[in-house]
Amino acid sequence: MAATVGSGNAPVSDTQPSTSADRSYEGSTFQYSMVLEHLIGEKRPIKDLNPTVMGGLPNPMKTDDQKMIEQGMESCAFKAVLACVGGFVLGGAFGVFTAGIDTNVGFDPKDPMRTPTAREVLKDMGQRGMSYAKNFAVIGAMFSCTECIIESHRGKSDWKNAVYSGCVTGGAIGFRAGAKAGVLGCGGFAAFSAAIEYYLR
């Protein structure tokens, strides 16, 4: 009877070490996975990189007025006005420059033999400069406004925005002279915008 009991207990004693080994292995695996979760997993704590701790200058919190000014400067209306002013100045300077190198400035077509006075030359240069300034201002405002609207609609800032804006601007200007001029203006402005973007980027 004792032998029977001893033989019956023998298998039980053999399985106990393997069971304890499996439990220790599972426990170590669980602990390892928990460590990984805290290191690189979803439980990893997010550290606030304070500039003062990193050795940099402190970044003060922005006030509501500063945020409002930043939003206004990033708006399409502000960009259009800025481009309009810049185009006006650039166009005026370009018009005065082209008038300065033009030998026919100030000449009267009714009396081409008469030498123009300095006042007539300056008046002609001013008129040409004003004409160029208006055209450049309109083109700059249209291009900047359409580019901003397209960028806001697409949600991307890449070279395609300038190409689309150039096509819209050139087409709108060219369609005043007909459909063919509008198509040519669209293609020309789009190609010019693509070349500028490629050069700048």
Question: What are the residue ranges spanned by the domains of the chain?
Answer: 68-103+116-156, 158-200
201 residues of the chain, pLDDT tens digit each: 344 444 444 444 444 555 555 555 555 666 767 766 766 766 666 665 555 555 555 667 778 778 788 888 888 889 999 999 999 999 999 998 988 887 777 777 777 777 778 888 888 888 999 999 999 999 999 999 999 999 988 888 888 899 999 999 999 988 888 889 999 999 999 999 999 888 877
- ∠ CA 149-152-158, nearest 5°, is 95
- Cα dihedral angle (148, 183, 180, 142), rounded to 10 degrees? 10
Q: Phi, psi at residue 112, to the nearest 5°?
A: -70, -15
- Cα dihedral angle (18, 19, 23, 29), rounded to 10 degrees? 40
pLDDT for res 3: 44
pLDDT for res 186: 93
